Each structure stands twice: as C-alpha cells, then as structure tokens.
Amino acid sequence: MTRRVLIVDDAATVRMYHRGILEHAGFAVDEAENGYEGLEKAMQGGYDLFLIDVNMPKLDGYSLLRRLRADPVAQSVPVIIITTETQDGDVALTAGANFCMTKPVSPEMLALYVRMACGA
C-alpha cells in the first residue's frame, strides 16, 4: 500500500525538491502552498504524514500543527516540521510534531524520517 504524504510549504522549489525525494522513495505526494490550503486538504483525510514548513504566510506551521492536533480527523497523523531555525526543534515537539528537521535536508535523511514516522 502506497503511503500518502502532504507537503505544506510556501516555496514551490522546496515542495518540488521534497516531492521528488519522496516519490523516488515510493510515496504518493500532494502539496499545499500555505497553512490554510494544507488544513483544508488535511481535513479531507487519507494522509499518512504531514510534512510542514514553519515560516509560511497566512497560517504558519506551528498554528497549522496545533489545528491538526485539535482535529479528530488529523490528530493522529504523524507530522514532521521542517525549519531553517535550529532552535525550533523543542518548540516543534512541544507543539505536537513527531520529528523536526532543519533545512536543507538530505534526500536520505528525509526519506528515512518519513519512513520512520509512517511506520513504513
């Protein structure tokens, strides 16, 4: 069974980079360009993991994460926060993330973290 991942990041190049890595690793990938779009897609269900950027306009990654953790449809879906700030790790885990990675991420490490979080 193919696992579905939702990438939420405002940078198209980052989404494309992460999509390529995850599709190569055998995951089905959807994208959202901001937190509100990500929340809308997440509420439709069917995802095995959310990969969320922290710094986004409209609805930042932490606010999105808090909303996901409060929603019965999405609250148990694993979340990996990806950030440019090394000190964000504690904040991400406290907010409910399963893992936090610092950009730029290597293809091998991203695929590994996603597999671990999905139980794949």
Instruction: Please give the structure tokens belonging to residue 68.
Output: 């996901």
The domain spans of the chain are 10-105
Q: What is the pLDDT of residues 39-50, one digit of tens each?
A: 999 999 899 999
Taking the chain (120 residues) in consecutive chunks of 10 residues, what is each chunk's mean pLDDT? Answer: 95 97 97 96 94 93 94 93 78 88 93 91
The pLDDT, as a whole number, for residue 87 is: 66
CATH architecture of the domain formed by 10-105: 3-Layer(aba) Sandwich (3.40)
Q: Which residues contact 41 (CB under 8 A, 6 or more apart)?
A: 6, 30, 32, 47
